[in-house]
A and B are shown apart, each in its own frame.
Chain A
Amino acid sequence: MSRLSDADVRARNASAWLLPSGDERTNHRLRADMRRYDESDEVDVVVVGCGAGGGTLMQRLARTGASVVGLDAGPFWDPDADWVSDEAGSHRLYWTEPRVISGSDPVPLGSNNSGRGVGGSMIHYAGYTPRFHPSDFHTFSLDGVGADWPIAYQDLKPYYQAIEQELPVSGQSWPWGDPHDYPYSPQPLGGNGQMFVRGAHALGVTTKVGPVAIANGRFGNRPHCIYRGFCLQGCKVNAKASPLITHIPDALAHGAEIRPNCMVNRVVVDGRRRAIGVTYITGGVEHFQAARLVVVSGYSIETPRLLLLSGSKEFPDGLCNDHGQVGHYLMVQGAPQVAGRFDAEVRMYKAPPPEVSSEEFYETDPTKPYKRGFALQTVSPLPITYSEHVSAQGHWGEALREYMRDYNHWAVTGALCEFLPRYENAVTLAAETDRNGLPVANFSYSMCDNDRALEDAAQHTQEEILKAAGATETIAVKRYAHLVGGCRMAADATQGVVDADQRSFAVPNLYLVDGSVLPTQGSANPALTIMALAARCAERLAASRNQGAPAATRAGGGL
């Protein structure tokens, strides 16, 4: 690729130019002037959740002239007033409504998993934006594990390129998967990135700087990164991409409406199995928004939960759950994290945590006893998160304090292991209810032997790399990252919830565009793939609209 001129990107998506150019981060005028629909208006599309998938789709559809309303359970963030350059103070960015975790390997949620509010989890994601590899779309055919997608890498490639330009992504030329370049040159490295590169190169392991959704330079009215290291607390600078600044402004400029603080509690379906709108709770009162098309994009936990909450006479086991697929095959990447101690000062809190990656170990290696692989990245935890790493070693009291006093000497890397999709890893409804009286999600997770072997290998490789860089001691912790799946895309209704166009098999005018549709997860961070899929879905919806069938008679769910 392919650095498009800024003018070309702007013609397609003007978000970065719709933000203020001075010291303010929010275009309050644009929000105040936002088009507002009446609840009694039957809009073309209602979108549940304005995160990675929902935010992208809204921008695309608003540009086709469709009337679009986006509902989000959380706030319409203003980085100036709402976010802080502080770990504990960023608590409100996370989804902290109650959830229950179970299984033999329960996965902690909250700060480590999902966000709330316009921009979704990308508000506090690290900012890594790698593509999936072509092999990720056919793991069952290639390796006999996981699943085959009903689409291939080539189907997604043009959308990967488009989103990489719109975020935009910076990084070195990418040698892995389908080799490609990035629109922006790589960022300079901090101490943590330097240590990772030093160790990897000593072992002959290739690393590349990036790919991160932080422009190396100004982009539109978005300023340059100031290397302050608080990417996981929300970027107060507007340097790190999230839909709040990359897609929502353009959606508003094209007539979309965002309704924040609206928790959707039901997708309403008529007796003919067609969606007619959604009900949502705001200010303690239930409302109904009528729509010709419903798109759900609430993250891998809330999307299945909402479908299960939307059961009816036609759908006694939950919406779209005729074949017991809703909530299942939820995946999480194993993310063993290793810290190495250096005599030199690393001060990993300086620079964005996402700096350098290696995908050398991504693909199945026939000489290994396990299938699929892992990616390696820098992570740079701030003090609270790092204290969890230390205390996971069993240290407390004086030992904890002494390790923490040594914070500036440690470098930390993390792996992303491709844990396999399994039917029993699932979201179900718990007996416990939330403040609206709705049953909360129970997420059960258990690992398989292949997962454990991968996790051990990824930990060992990181220990070797840090030692090769000169670390005198390493300490490791087993963690998880990135939930996807739960309403997967499949070739037929007995295998998944949505088809290759992300339309639900059961309800022709109901689409899912968040990470829940992923059938496999690769070892890549998922946000770019979720956005690319949403862009593709929107384009196909718009194309079916242009074919001109009148809405009522369209067999499919086109606009």
Chain B
Amino acid sequence: MKDREVSSGLARRHPPVTPGGKGRFGDFDVLGQVSRWDLVTAGVVLARLDTDPQLSFFTAEEEPTVRALTDLLLGQHDEPRVPVVEMLDKRLLAGETDGWRYEDMPEDSDAWRRSLAALDDEARALHGERFSDLPPERQARIVQGVQDADEWHGFSAGHLWSLWTRYACSAFYSHPWTWNEIGFGGPAYPRGYKNMGVDRREGWERPEVDARDPVPWAERREEALRAHEERQDASPSEERDR
């Protein structure tokens, strides 16, 4: 399929981009393989590097709320960020649903609007401010409250949680920067794989070289869970101040 391949061109950057500059695979850059992808796939994937920043679905009022929410859900606290909000905006505008909804939920686009408004209502009721103006700990506690609830602002909380995380995760993990972060090989046609099996790599795949290695998985996991909790524990003094 030689004639259908594209040259790697401008997509690569050095060092390779990962969301928030976090990753475990050093100089592994999935975009270094673009010349080995078929043209149709390359077109679809590279378009994600050039998402239109103009929002059309989310209103100016909703924008800061949805940014704060998706940053929290995906742990995107630093630049460069995967433009998840822009990706959701396009998707909701196109009405690209998963092809089903829970009987007790509104249409997806409606559910997004109403739940963003509910986040602001809740933030105002608890702290007198918009959701996006709250310190991250307070935002996180509200979000955790949704995950823990059965019912939340008229929603079945589990069904709303499913909607939020499905949209957020499928946008985030479709982006080549996250593939760099997790060491995923990305599109594989027409190249394919030659070295399959436990502990086997292609020449262009990379082992992990995270600075914290050799921290075992169990410790990394505990650390991440701790960091996650800490985001929700405002210090007592801060609570008193407010």
Residue of B4, B187, B198 with most partner-chain A CB within 10 A:
B198
Is the C-beta of A555 less than 8 angstroms from some C-beta in chain B? no
- Decide if B221 touches A228 in the complex (CB within 8 Å): no
Is the C-beta of B149 less than 8 angstroms from some C-beta in chain A? no
- Decide if A398 touches B41 in the complex (CB within 8 Å): no
- Decide if A227 touches B147 in the complex (CB within 8 Å): no
Interface string of B161-195 (1 = CB under 8 A from A): 00001100111111000110111110111111111
Is the C-beta of B11 less than 8 angstroms from some C-beta in chain A? no
Is the C-beta of A191 less than 8 angstroms from some C-beta in chain B? yes
Interfacial residues of chain A within 28-84, with CB under 8 A of chain B in the complex: 80-84
Interface string of A280-313 (1 = CB under 8 A from B): 0000000000000000000000000000000000
- Decide if A89 touches B44 in the complex (CB within 8 Å): yes
Q: Tell me, rounded to whole Å, the shortest Cβ–Cβ distance linking B176 to chain A.
A: 10
Neighbour of A86 across the interface among B187, B220, B227, CB < 8 A: B187
Is the C-beta of A341 less than 8 angstroms from some C-beta in chain B? yes
Neighbour of B101 across the interface among A98, A230, A401, A407, CB < 8 A: A98
Interchain CA distance A528-B138 in the complex, whole Å? 53
Interchain CA distance A346-B198 in the complex, whole Å? 5
Is the C-beta of A229 less than 8 angstroms from some C-beta in chain B? yes
Is the C-beta of A199 less than 8 angstroms from some C-beta in chain B? no
Q: Tell me, rounded to whole Å, the shortest Cβ–Cβ distance linking B46 to chain A.
A: 11
Is the C-beta of A366 less than 8 angstroms from some C-beta in chain B? no
What's the dominant secondary structure at chain A's contact region? Answer: loop
Number of interface residues of A (CB under 8 A): 74
Neighbour of B169 across the interface among A99, A384, A398, CB < 8 A: A384
Is the C-beta of A175 less than 8 angstroms from some C-beta in chain B? no
Is the C-beta of B75 less than 8 angstroms from some C-beta in chain A? yes
Q: Given A397-B74, A401-B75, verify A228-B189 contact (CB < 8 Å).
A: yes
**Given the complex, which residues of A lie within 8 Å of B192, measured CB to CB?**
226-228
Interchain CA distance A398-B217 in the complex, whole Å? 14
Is the C-beta of B1 less than 8 angstroms from some C-beta in chain A? yes
Is the C-beta of A493 less than 8 angstroms from some C-beta in chain B? no
Neighbour of A230 across the interface among B104, B147, B188, B227, CB < 8 A: B188
Q: Given A383-B179, A407-B183, verify A91-B165 contact (CB < 8 Å).
A: no
Report the 3 A-B pairs with minimum CB-CB distance, sorted nearest first: A226-B192, A110-B99, A402-B224
List the interface of chain A (C-beta within 8 A of B). Answer: 23, 80-89, 91, 94-102, 106, 108-111, 188-191, 194-195, 226-230, 236-237, 341-347, 349-351, 382-384, 387-388, 391, 394-409, 442, 472-473
Q: List 26 A-B contacts (CB under 8 A).
A: A23-B190, A85-B41, A85-B188, A87-B170, A87-B173, A88-B171, A89-B41, A91-B96, A101-B100, A109-B99, A110-B97, A188-B196, A226-B188, A226-B189, A226-B191, A237-B189, A349-B185, A384-B170, A391-B169, A396-B75, A397-B140, A397-B228, A400-B73, A401-B22, A406-B182, A408-B184
